[in-house]
Structure 1
Amino acid sequence: MRVPRPQPHLEEVLASEPGSHIAALFDFDGTIISGYSATAMLREKFQRREMSMEEIAETAQVVAQHSLGQIGFSGLMSAAAKFMKGVDEESFVEFGEELYKKHIARKIYPETRAIIEAHQAKGHRVAIISSATIYQIEPTARDLGITDIKCSAYEIEDGVFTGEIIRPLCFGEGKVLAAEELAAEYGLDLDQSFFYSDSDDDIELLERVGKPRPLNPNMKLKGIADERGWPVQRFASRGTPSWIDYTRTIYATGSLVGAFAAGLPIWALTRSQREAANFSIGLFGDFATAITGVELEVEDERHLWSSRPCIFIFNHQSKADVMILAKLIRRDMGGVGKKEIRDIPILGKLMEWGGTVFVDRADGKSAIKAMEPLVDAIRHEGKSICISPEGTRTLTPKLAPFKKGAFHLAMQAGVPIVPIVIHNATDVAPKNEFVMRPATVRVTVLPPVDTSQWSVKTLNDHVRDVRNMFLRTLGQPEESAAESVAAEAPPPKPKAEKTKPKKAAEKKPASRKKAAGKAAKG
């Protein structure tokens, strides 16, 4: 059994004094996320071929000068601002949202998320104080429920970047000023407050608060922390994977083929495809979780077996969900997958052979028609079907809206729904991450939900009720009837996408208005 790593920072928060007079301040890069958001931004712009040769050369030169100590952070930001001149801010906001979806969301440390949630539960004022810009930070802050952000800012005039920065930057002593602004605004006691950071660049604010808490500290900060007796914690759940993690992931992924190959002799001897598939599914679940170092803590496992055949529904956080569900359900199951998987060599055929039906998620009517054979499999073969009502993996542990396909299927087949709540599969592999890492995943199996009295007329209410079961179990806010109605409303007509920063039309400069230092508040 895996021995849980100690979480001293989290345990300290759980035992701390509650109250809104206490602040929990967080640096962003290296503390909330692994690595640097600016690096991800530059990489994305380079891959899109949105950087001129001049910008590439000058960026490389400035970064080298900063690394050698020849220029400070102000010089680095000034160089970045130069290439922002004339860019429409709105398009850069959209670029930041795309950056979050593609790169940043999967870099969020689950351990830091837990610390933030613990502070929020205590009623502490949680804020991000970072030298990065609002465009790098805001989508992550929104995900984490953080409404107070103090960060560095570019000057904006009439919605367009001017090519200048706003001083003072949120760096060094500038972070202390930002914290004191928050303290004055909310009546915070910084002497009782926390600040989490990974860098010695933040030494001024670490010294200013009563509870400096280095997270993933660089060597210099680690030395300072050791000298001063500051508690230190490191996380290995994100960042550059080890070769062992890569090897485990490759073996676990490949074990699907091996597991089905191992079932072929059973098929040959018994002529039962079903028994062969049952053997293969269980073997895959056991081997893949073992080789990746994933252990399951399952609450109320008896509900997995008490009402079969049924419709198993689960919240879809990670590609690891497949092996988790195989280990849990083990036999007599079919599934629903997106049609793109069917075209993947070998994998698509194996999943189809194992009882998966592939649907077009963009076409609701064809998806419902494609699932019709599953009704027969449930009624006549006694198979249970496993479906994610969210339709796809979520970027974060937050539950997405539910589609109705699984609920229609349960009504048509006349079987109950068994909710499987997976709490933290993102610890293994968040969306867009190839590598799977060792973790202990909590799973709660809720009691079967009777669908015999359901009707199409009342289906929306039943979907909301079941979704609220998931939300309660995950500790997330429940959905009201009004919110459910709003979610059912047709979406507005989409606008033309702006996927990259755009140069604004040339115009004569008006009076130079400085954009307010970005302190985003919800």
Structure 2
Amino acid sequence: MNVTAADVIEAVRTGPGGPRIGAFFDLDGTLVRGYTVASLYQDRIRRFQAGPAELARVLFAALDGLARDGDPEAIGRAGFATLRGMRTDEVAAIGQRVFDERIAGTIRPEARDLIQAHLRRGHTVAVASSATRLQIEPLARDLGIPHIICTELEETDGVLTGRSTTDLVWGERKAAAVRAFARGARINLRQSFGYANGAEDLAFLAELGRPYPLNPHPGLAEAAAAHDWPVLTLREPKSPTLWAGLGTLGALTAVNVALGVGMTYGLLSGDRRRGANLGLELAADTGLALAGVKLHVTGAEHLEQARPAVFVANHQSTLDVLVLGALLRHDFTAVTKREARFDPRMLVIGAFLDPAWIDRSNLANAKHTLDQAVARLRGGTSILVLPEGTRMPTPRLGRFKKGAFHLAMQAGVPIVPIVLRNTGELAWRRSMLVHSGTVDVAVLDPIPTAGWTVDELDKRITELRDRFADTLADWPVSAAGS
């Protein structure tokens, strides 16, 4: 029997709740597409940190493991040995960087929704994997998973020895580790959920009352049929395709042509603002259309309800620029970091928006820039601010900076929150390609800033960030894209 993410989420929602119900997720091939260790080695090779001798040892161990019917022990020992002498904090920093740069883009989008469904029911959620904490912890933090069952590395005085204290948590050893964790946490395994993709996880899944082979390899798919286990298929992260490349190229061409039309109109009519509005509207609409991107918006009435305003949005993708342009359409500019001024993607758009370029390294200059932005707000031009300050690697929110809130408070204008759900799925932060699909947008009620004081600003920022997080975790039904 085949089931979808929506089917399983409904089963979680209507089933028993509480911490005695476990939800155990394998990592490689389950939460993410592919293997996280490959991303780590790609990073080491790219930085010339893995020499020919090390690569030869790992490759030989992999071939030896395959020759012995896939026994992973030799591969594990070879991999652990490469970490000998490294500090644990150094390894943790590498793991976070590789997650941000590589692994984040391989997370299966529906896996995030599934995890949130378990967390909302109060289940005890854990990653159960043969991978190490180096590979797992950044992803677990991002997904909000509080527990990790994994291969542990040995360390002495904060330095790795190149050995493991648990041996590789794989196959039957992984099943035993899950049983031990369940005993300690008083989890009822017969009512618990398990998700994995490989035949090596048969023993692990058999421990659980609700096993779900997830995008299973052939061996596990055969076992699932024999055991009458439901097979869960999650959609994969977007991969580069010829159509995505052509759509992106068409969108970039259309954006530049449209901005040129707007510039020409502004020069001929002597009305620069009308020319900018025309160019930006044409650029956003035609760019999205040629890229095959549609918008599904709830709360669209709030976009015109309170102008001028400070519009704030979460930021995950280059696509955000076109989406926000299509939403705001006219009489707005942006506050953005000075470094973006030299980004080729911002040269033409920057000329049209004439944004306030803020230099965070110079307090006096930053204050002067914000004062100019306040004057523009008072003159009737709305301001767009991305308060995280940079593109985030996943939908998980970053820290909100204070600039947008100071602007709104000083100008006496409302803040209008714009929550973008899945732009990063269609155009990951480290990719130039835009894939076709529907972007879900929720525009929240405008927030008046009259009466705000500097002393309560931190509280106001926390409240707004919480509204973004709540919206992303429990998306308005009317905003769900088809």
- The alignment's TM-score, normalised by the length of structure 1, stands at 0.83
Q: Distance in 1 between matches of 2:244 and 2:219?
A: 28
2:271 partner letter:
S
How is 1:206-225 mapped onto 2 (pairs within 5 angstroms)? 206-225=205-224
1:513 corresponding residue in structure 2: none
1:298–1:392 distance in 2 versus 1, CA, 3 Å: same
- Could you say which structure has the greater relative contact order, defined with CA pairs below 8 angstroms and 6 or more residues apart? 1
Partner of 2:290: 291
Relative to its length, the structure with more helix (as a share) is: 2
1:70 deviates by 5.9
Deviation >6 Å, runs of 4+: none
Return the alpha-carbon distance in structure 2 between the equivalents of residues 82 and 468 of structure 1: 43
Q: Deviations over 1:364-417 (max 9, x none)?
A: 44223224333343333x221111122222233233332222222223333222
Q: Residue 418 of structure 1 aligns with which residue?
A: 416
Amino acid at match of 1:94: A
Aligned-residue identity in percent: 35
Moved more, 32-41 or 240-249: 240-249
Aligned partners of 1:315 and 1:421 also within 8 Å: yes
Question: Which residues of structure 1 form unaligned runs of 5+?
Answer: 477-522
Distance 1:333 1:248, change over 3 A: same
TM-aligned CA deviation for residue 457 of structure 1:
4.5
Question: Is the Cα contact below 8 Å between 1:106 and 1:433 reproduced in 2?
Answer: no
Post-superposition offset of 1:359:
2.0
Q: Distance between the aligned counterparts of 1:155 and 1:472, measured in 2?
A: 39
Q: Which amino acid aligns with 2:24?
A: L
Alignment-derived partner of residue 463 in structure 1: 461
Deviation at 1:145, TM superposition (A): 2.1
Partners of 2:215 and 2:335 lie apart in 1 by 40
Task: Tell me if the contact between 2:91 and 2:134 (Cα under 8 Å) persists in the aligned partners.
Answer: yes
Where does residue 241 of structure 1 map in the other structure? 240
Instruction: Give the structure 1 partner of residue 194 of structure 2.
Output: 195
Change (3 A) 1:248 1:8: farther
Q: How many residues align?
A: 471
Provide Cα deviations, 1:275-303, integer angstroms capped at 9, x if missing partner.
Answer: 22212222222233333443333222111
1:92-140: CA deviations, max 9, x gaps?
2222222222222232222101101101111211111101111110121
Q: Cα–Cα, structure 1 residues 64 and 282, in superposed 2: closer, same or farther, change >3 Å?
A: farther
C-alpha change, 1:159 and 1:401, in structure 2 (3 Å) is closer
Counterpart Cα distance in 2 of 1:277 and 1:250: 23
TM-score, with structure 2 as normaliser: 0.89
Deviations 1:59-115 (A, max 9, x none): 223233334556610011111122233333332222222222222223222210110
1:199 positional shift: 1.3
The 2-side partners of 1:465 and 1:187 are apart by 35
Whether the aligned pair in 2 keeps the contact of 1:410 and 1:416 (CA below 8 Å) is: yes
1:406 to 392, 404, 407: 404
The residue that corresponds to 2:51 in the other structure is 52
- Residue 170 of structure 1 deviates from its aligned partner by 0.8
Q: CA deviation at 1:17?
A: 2.3
C-alpha change, 1:87 and 1:412, in structure 2 (3 Å) is closer
In structure 2, list runs of 5 or more residues that go unmatched.
475-482
Residue equivalent to 1:78: 77
Provide closer, same or farther for how the CA distance between residues 92 and 194 of structure 1 changes in structure 2, counting only shifts above 3 A.
Answer: same
What is the SS of the residue equivalent to 1:126?
Answer: strand
- Matched with 1:496 is none
Question: Is contact 2:86-2:160 (8 Å) kept?
Answer: yes
Deviates more, 1:244-253 or 1:336-345: 244-253
Q: Distance in 1 between matches of 2:282 and 2:301?
A: 20
Paired with 1:141 and 1:355, the residues of 2 have a C-alpha distance of 40
CA distance in 2, matches of 1:106, 1:244: 19
For the 8 Å contact 1:342–1:352, the answer to whether it is kept is no
Residue 478 of structure 2 corresponds to which residue in structure 1? none
1:283-331: per-residue Cα shift (whole Å, max 9, x none)? 2222333334433332221111011111111122322221111111111
The separation in 2 between residues aligned to 1:258 and 1:236, in whole angstroms, is 35
Shift of residue 196, structure 1, vs aligned partner? 0.7
Output the aligned Cα RMSD.
2.5
> For the Cα contact (< 8 Å) 2:238–2:425, is it kept in 1?
no
Shift of 1:175: 1.3
